[in-house]
Structure 1
Amino acid sequence: MEVREAGDGAAAGECDREPPKKYSWAEVRQAVHDLRKELSSLSTMVPMAICFRKLSCGKTRVYFLRTPQNGWETLLYTDVLPSLQPSNARLDWKPLIKSNVALGASTGKCSKEEQLLWERQRVAAWGIASYELHKETGRVLFPCASSLFIAEEGRGQSPPILPRSLSTGGGAPLTPAICPSTARLVAHAARGDIWLAGDCLGSPTRLTYACKGKDDRLLEDPLQAGVPCYVTQEEFSRYTGFWWQPKSDDDIYRIVYEEVDESDVKIFSFPSSNTASGDVDEFRFPRAGTPNAKSVLKLVTFRLTKSSPTNITVRRVLGEASSPTEGMDVTDVRWYEMRSPLKEMFPWFEYLARVGWTSCGQYVWAQILDRKQQILELVLIPLAEFNVSSHYSHGETQNDDPTQMSEQNNVDPSKIQVLLRETAPDSWINVHDIFYPLTNCTSCTGTNCTCATFKFIWASEETGFLHLYVITSNIQPDKANVVNTGIEEMLSEDENNASGPNIISKEAITSGDWEVMGRKIWVDETRDLVYFVGLRETPLERHLYVASITPSESGITLLTTVGHSHTVDMDDDCTVAVITSSNISSVPVTKVYNVCHTGGRVTLTQYGSLLERPMLDYLDPPFNGTWDRMGDGDENNDIPLLIKERSLSTIEVPPPQIYSTRLSCGMTAYCTLWRSRHAGPRPTVLHVYGGPEVQIVTNSYKGIRQLRMHMLAARGFTVVSVDSRGSKHRGRAWEAAIRGKMGQVELDDQVEVLQWLAKETGCIDMERVAIHGWSYGGYLSLLGLATRPHIFKVCVAGAPVTSWRLYDTAYTERYMGSPSERHNAYSRASVIPHAPFFPDREGRLLIIHGLADENVHFCHTAALLSELVRLGKPHRVQVYPGERHSLRTMHAAKHYEATLLHFLHENL
């Protein structure tokens, strides 16, 4: 990677400017069609969602999702033998399932629930979007088109396997999960409750009865079990609401789950995404300053018993029997609440950010946050805490025989343990996924855990950057000596009715002015090693590192190559790694490595490259003046244009360049520049996001994800993207600069970098600059035109926030505080008061919005339009009926691209 600094380019004005050229709508549409074909070379077939399984023959099978050149996203695999000598052999992609099954399923209609889940997960897939592997049996479970499928080797089957569907109940199955101890059982959420499916069952079984099933009367149905509320999914990236107990030595199956009560959350109506119906959809959405959903943790247990011959016969007569091998009934279903709900134990508790089980199966752990997201506690909940029977008023009642209930509670009662507490009074706490309990429960036997201490790996931003720590906490205070390290704030039992935190020791594994990525670590407890992805070399590159869990002089070892950014997956034993590497100018390459240990050193030895079998290119049909969903005018072409692989040599796509500069505040900012093929100052588009939680500028190949930047550059525009203060992975001080100041410091940085880059490169015409962005970028685009009309000649704002009072609680209050307490800050951050300052000249403002957007509601645009109309301000609006926050259909995406290009050509 070459990060350019001052003095790399020609001075502005050295070359003559080209006069702007006008294009007709038909010409721009044709240009979009042609550019999409040419730029399809940017698409890359990189394996995703990688899982590993040890085979009996000694090989490791690597599973992954990807799109073969001739079809939809599907399940693929390759086998590796770690003991082989280093090589660069090509490891072919092999289909795990028959491709026609996935293709057939993908053509089915997806439910509204699936569409909304994909919106929250930012999934853009046409086939299999996710799967789960049961590593002991090799069973693979995947949802597709409102159905569940199982693929399993054995019984005379070998890949490619013909999957079989599972009978599910209650609607589209969401977030399915295989039972860890019995692979033939699958739990899933559907229509607001948890269901049990499996080919060993005669029919699906409903496990909870929170939801009344009144889909058309949302007001009367505020409860749901196993499904997180909107803000938990959207703002905390937790999409499941139930968790299987990992193991048990009795015959009881246990699932801890979240029950959500949205009684106090306001209901809003939006035009349906099914535009032909004319219907409206209702959603519960908590705006800033209004009540959130309430979450409680509960437990459901059940047993399996063999079906009687009569029951099996009846099911087969009714057509409910799914296979001749089923013969189990779900019996003795019981529901339990916590002895003391979390809200009673922790009155400040607002958000249930993360939940899981310890490996011994005797504790549930949870990360809980206060409403301001400035206090986080990691709590350990003994299984014995779930000892109060719960009845669903419209479900089946349970047997309250105390002798039977005591089977659930044979662990000695104990309080909830607070493992640690973190505070961020001057900013906010960023929730992450790094919590790894180490195997120190050697004294656990079945359902009786007598461990006095609890040792785990945790990530914390207490130094200003996210780093790893190994912590030992006392979970039985009378059995260990507590050392106050001074790092954690201790709480008394009177403050939260729970024990702890009682930290015996806390040692840093990593440190420095750089971040560990907060998504995944891999732990080799046998060798006392932890592997992680971090940004030590540069904030622009992700690398794999290894360090000792017990702090040592050996420090941290870099395992990947500098000059590239890497995505990493490792097996549970930390013996095989799959790493995809790229940089801003080179396409991704995925390789399989053996993790080797020699003389106390850890190295990666390449085993092979994970490449697709070569396939012939598909011919592109001629443009016929229409845009269908899949192709470019050919209704019989079922191959999406965006996934066609071409050689990069078929089109000259100049790679973008990364620049850095020191801001006036003293911090360093990074930006990406896409040059057009024309010399001299060019009309320029500042493509902005600028909001928190996102990092745009990295030394990695983004390809088709930056299609529109390349498209703009190909049409003669210079394109610039800047990571301003508030963006991700630069430390707490960098992020927290926007606290209470949204829309202010970001634009200051964006304009400062743009002006510096114009002087340094000579390719930016500061008299012809457009600002364009989507979502938070749309918000900044509007503010840019209203507050800096002398800088920005044109604004194109997509799905913009215009008032933070209209956005959701968790996101808005995290960065802005409560609207009742920060009234002036909310007013300063709003676009609406700036309406009088929008230009009076026509052709400077274009607003784009999907009418069915359930994230940034169309009322944001409507509120601004009302003011603009009242003030007589010229503007143009492009509405996409049926589209949500992301433009999902191909014809809408292409129409948007043509609208953007046409508007820029006309007015810039």
Structure 2
Amino acid sequence: MLRKAPLINPLRTGCNMAAAMETEQVGVEIFGSPSSHGSTDPMGGDSKPEPFYVERHSWSQMRKLLADTRKYHGYMMAKAPHSFTFVKRNDPDSPHSDRMYYLAMSGENRENTLFYSEIPKNISRGAVLMLSWKPLLDTFQVLDVVDKELRQPFEVLFAGCEYIARAGWTPDGKYAWAILLDRPQTRLQIVLIPPSLFVAPFKDLSEHHRLSESISDSVAPLVIYEETTDIWINIHDILHFFPQTREDEIQFLFASECKTGFRHLYRITSVLRAAGTARLGVDLSGLSDFRCPIKEEVAVTSGEWEVLGRHGSTIRVDEINKLVFFEATKDTPLEHHLYVANYETPGEIARLTDLGFSHSCCVSKHCDMFISRFSSQTLPHAVHLFKIKGSGADPAQRDKEFWATLLDSPGSVPGYVAPEIFSFPSRTGFTLYGMMYRPHQMQPGKKYPTVLFIYGGPQVQLVNNRFKGVKYFRLNTLASLGYVVVVIDNRGSCHRGLKFEGAFKYKMGQVEIEDQVEGLQYLAAKHSFIDLDRVGIHGWSYGGYLSLMALIQRPDIFKVAIAGAPVTLWIFYDTGYTERYMGHPDQNEHGYYLGSVAMQAEKFPSEPSRLLLLHGFLDENVHFAHTSILLSFLVRSGKPYDLQIYPQERHSIRVPESGEHYELHLLYYLQENLGSHIAVTKSL
């Protein structure tokens, strides 16, 4: 999906890059500096600010500068430990209570490695325990696999179903379960399938017919839950089945945003009674003979905030004390926290993590401890282990106790200046959030070139209280060179509710730039150092797509667009992703036209050096065909463009040298065509 937009920094140490620089003769190239253009003295009175021009570097000088900005990255991890699993130790004589498994990148290894740590039963309160990382050297072997298939073809048994979004087994193995979606992705059903509906693969049609006729009328799938929406359904990972206490009922916890527009937890009891048999079929577009009545549906959480259920976030249930632990945005949409609530008698919700940081947590199976990976705008990530204290069914009685450290924060990074978060009321009635990096050496009376960094698509939030100094360190580099850097989450981004996210239903590319421009104008009215006559835009994946949209919709605002791996024609992209937001092409032909930049190539500017396209030739997500067809239409329209292909790269840039080249090209292109004094000369 486009939400997997890359922009991964190569974390190369300063010494390695400096060694590569020794063969370059950077001193023979002479370029201008900002001091050679205009006074640096403060301007008094009502004088208008004068343009600040970034210092002009050669490619070789820029490469050395980039290496210098990364020299402190050697002691920071590209990706902190994640994907945790706790396993309880059953040895009473062992000094350890649990073993914790996790994935992490360590040292120069750019691939995830499986590690484990032993968690002691007791610790010294006077010292901080640092858990050791042990690589898992054991090998695993799959001992047996049994192939089964449904007695009836899936498309017959579940007519109208297009996607199997999730699947698994109930805890007792009595049923297989599946979450099904129709093609428009506006109707969801949770289905229980008895194992007796599965048989060994049949060899011919006569055997298939015989097996179908042998199905007992009492054997049928059961639709235990259904929901619909007029926007779209965001699939998540929250589903917990309770042990069955009655043969004719099943109870489970599920999360839905269809009822209130915000994803919340519900405790649901369904009666296992269906009118049809497996010889008939489920029709997701109408009534179903397999639909079971809902006996009870209780809201466990509520409010204008969201329970998190994607990207590793899920729930952990304490069935003894009737508690559910979950991550949510209850206190602020800019921070993720761990909470606990009683699902039997919903009421007070208790927060277990500290404000001022954004957390990603995993609770142990026995609900007696949790691991938190957390950071803030100013402090890099740390990973701490906490014991969960308290007893009983009252969430307010639960608290945490620090137990051990898996990864300590390295503290502030030299040369890194965190962005400031801002918000503004948009004309659409929503509050929009953004971040701004100020130029590091600001001079009074100057206005600075501005770069808008953008993603803007669904299922992604860029503006939050997390550390940006690794993955998005290039934004700090731009600020150190003299650019203002702005990031805004427009309508359509996540964690703000379904109405906010659904603003571009059927019209991708038609609302996002409006929000971005409004944010730029808000900042420019508030800060005189922002030069709206020199604005560039850059993004990757959906952000690359919106960079192109910005240049054809508002060429008066955006002077330069640098688009990485952009979608240019929506009918070329993944069907499940595209139709979720845009509908079927036959029912939204005009929306597909307006949302596809390749079809509007004649709207691109006719001036050279305003458009740079970047794309990995092996892109497995947004195929290179998107860039290829755009180039064809640009040529037919007589429009200029610049192109950089990465022959061995996929959607995410993985090779460090490619990542370095991408960043160099980005910085150099902005310097030559937006920020330096020569950029003004070229534009004339």
Question: Which TM class, normalised by the smaller chain length?
Answer: 0.7 to 0.9
Show the counterpart of 1:22.
Answer: 56
Match for 1:427 among 227, 231, 234? 231
Distance of 2:128 and 2:673 partners within structure 1? 53
Q: CA deviation at 1:83?
A: 5.8
Show the counterpart of 1:63.
Answer: 101
Residue 186 of structure 1: SS of its match in structure 2? coil
What amino acid is the match of 2:81?
P
2:71 aligned with 1:37: yes
Distance of 1:659 and 1:584 partners within structure 2? 13
Show the counterpart of 1:566.
Answer: 359
Show the counterpart of 1:521.
Answer: 315
2:487 aligned with 1:740: no
CA contact (8 A) 1:383 1:411 kept: no
Show the counterpart of 1:456.
Answer: 252
Distance of 1:753 and 1:657 partners within structure 2? 14
Distance of 1:354 and 1:814 partners within structure 2? 17
> Residue 681 and residue 468 in structure 1: after superposition, are their counterparts in 2 closer, same or farther (change >3 A)?
same
Distance of 1:411 and 1:895 partners within structure 2? 65
Residue 868 of structure 1: SS of its match in structure 2? helix
Match for 1:510 among 277, 297, 301? 301
> Residue 492 and residue 695 in structure 1: after superposition, are their counterparts in 2 closer, same or farther (change >3 A)?
closer
Match for 1:590 among 380, 383, 386? 383
Distance of 2:592 and 2:283 partners within structure 1? 36
Distance of 2:126 and 2:219 partners within structure 1? 55
Residue 316 of structure 2: SS of its match in structure 1? strand
Kindly report which structure 2 residues correspond to 1:338-377, keeping only aligned pairs within 5 A, or say none: 338-377=150-189
Distance of 1:760 and 1:501 partners within structure 2? 57
Q: CA deviation at 1:715?
A: 2.1
Structure 2 gaps, min length 5: 1-43, 276-281, 675-684
2:520 aligned with 1:754: yes
Structure 1 gaps, min length 5: 1-9, 99-139, 141-148, 151-184, 188-195, 197-206, 208-254, 256-299, 301-335, 444-450, 479-490, 613-644
Match for 1:824 among 566, 590, 594? 590
Q: CA deviation at 1:343?
A: 1.7
Q: CA deviation at 1:685?
A: 0.8
Show the counterpart of 1:674.
Answer: 437
> Residue 782 and residue 660 in structure 1: after superposition, are their counterparts in 2 closer, same or farther (change >3 A)?
same
Distance of 1:12 and 1:339 partners within structure 2? 81
Kindly report which structure 2 residues correspond to 1:174-253, keeping only aligned pairs within 5 A, or say none: 186=142, 196=144
What amino acid is the match of 2:403?
Y
2:415 aligned with 1:652: yes
Larger deviation, residues 820-829 vs 527-536: 820-829
- Which structure's residues are more often strand, by fraction? 1
Larger deviation, residues 366-375 vs 586-595: 586-595
Match for 1:468 among 265, 281, 295? 265
Q: CA deviation at 1:854?
A: 2.4
Distance of 1:392 and 1:704 partners within structure 2? 57
Show the counterpart of 1:437.
Answer: 241
Residue 471 of structure 1: SS of its match in structure 2? strand
Show the counterpart of 1:906.
Answer: 672
CA contact (8 A) 2:83 2:102 kept: yes
Show the counterpart of 2:427.
Answer: 664
Residue 683 of structure 1: SS of its match in structure 2? strand
Distance of 2:274 and 2:203 partners within structure 1? 35
CA contact (8 A) 1:346 1:496 kept: no
Report the count of equivalent residues: 607
Distance of 2:361 and 2:116 partners within structure 1? 17
Match for 1:337 among 146, 149, 162? 149
Q: CA deviation at 1:787?
A: 1.5
What amino acid is the match of 2:424?
T
CA contact (8 A) 2:416 2:469 kept: no
Show the counterpart of 1:294.
Answer: none
Kindly report which structure 2 residues correspond to 1:658-807, keeping only aligned pairs within 5 A, or say none: 658-679=421-442, 680-807=446-573
What amino acid is the match of 1:506?
E
Identity of aligned residues (%): 39
Distance of 2:291 and 2:631 partners within structure 1? 53
Distance of 2:48 and 2:135 partners within structure 1? 58
2:129 aligned with 1:90: yes
Q: CA deviation at 1:77?
A: 3.0
Distance of 2:79 and 2:553 partners within structure 1? 43
Cα shift readout 1:133-167 (whole Å, capped 9, x = no counterpart): xxxxxxx6xxxxxxxx34xxxxxxxxxxxxxxxxx
Cα shift readout 1:824-850 (whole Å, capped 9, x = no counterpart): 111111112432222222211111111
CA contact (8 A) 2:454 2:547 kept: yes
> Residue 503 and residue 31 in structure 1: after superposition, are their counterparts in 2 closer, same or farther (change >3 A)?
same
Show the counterpart of 1:544.
Answer: 338
What amino acid is the match of 2:405?
S
Distance of 2:126 and 2:337 partners within structure 1? 22
Show the counterpart of 1:105.
Answer: none
Q: CA deviation at 1:552?
A: 3.5
Show the counterpart of 1:838.
Answer: 604
What amino acid is the match of 1:677?
H
Residue 673 of structure 1: SS of its match in structure 2? strand
Cα shift readout 1:395-416 (whole Å, capped 9, x = no counterpart): xxx9x9x9xx9xxx99994211
Distance of 1:693 and 1:11 partners within structure 2? 47
Distance of 1:646 and 1:733 partners within structure 2? 39
Q: CA deviation at 1:427?
A: 0.9
Distance of 1:86 and 1:343 partners within structure 2? 60
CA contact (8 A) 1:346 1:497 kept: no
Task: Provide the TM-score with structure 2 as the length reference.
Answer: 0.83
Distance of 1:765 and 1:733 partners within structure 2? 33
What amino acid is the match of 1:705?
K
Q: CA deviation at 1:586?
A: 1.2
> Residue 902 and residue 12 in structure 1: after superposition, are their counterparts in 2 closer, same or farther (change >3 A)?
farther
Show the counterpart of 1:863.
Answer: 629
Distance of 1:798 and 1:83 partners within structure 2? 51
> Residue 693 and residue 902 in structure 1: after superposition, are their counterparts in 2 closer, same or farther (change >3 A)?
same
> Residue 42 and residue 706 in structure 1: after superposition, are their counterparts in 2 closer, same or farther (change >3 A)?
farther
Kindly report which structure 2 residues correspond to 1:60-209, keeping only aligned pairs within 5 A, or say none: 60-69=98-107, 73-82=112-121, 89-97=128-136, 149-150=139-140, 186=142, 196=144
Q: CA deviation at 1:340?
A: 2.8
Cα shift readout 1:818-874 (whole Å, capped 9, x = no counterpart): 111111111111112432222222211111111121221222112221222122222
After superposition, the CA RMSD in angstroms is 2.9
Distance of 1:664 and 1:428 partners within structure 2? 24
Cα shift readout 1:258-296 (whole Å, capped 9, x = no counterpart): xxxxxxxxxxxxxxxxxxxxxxxxxxxxxxxxxxxxxxx
Q: CA deviation at 1:13?
A: 7.7
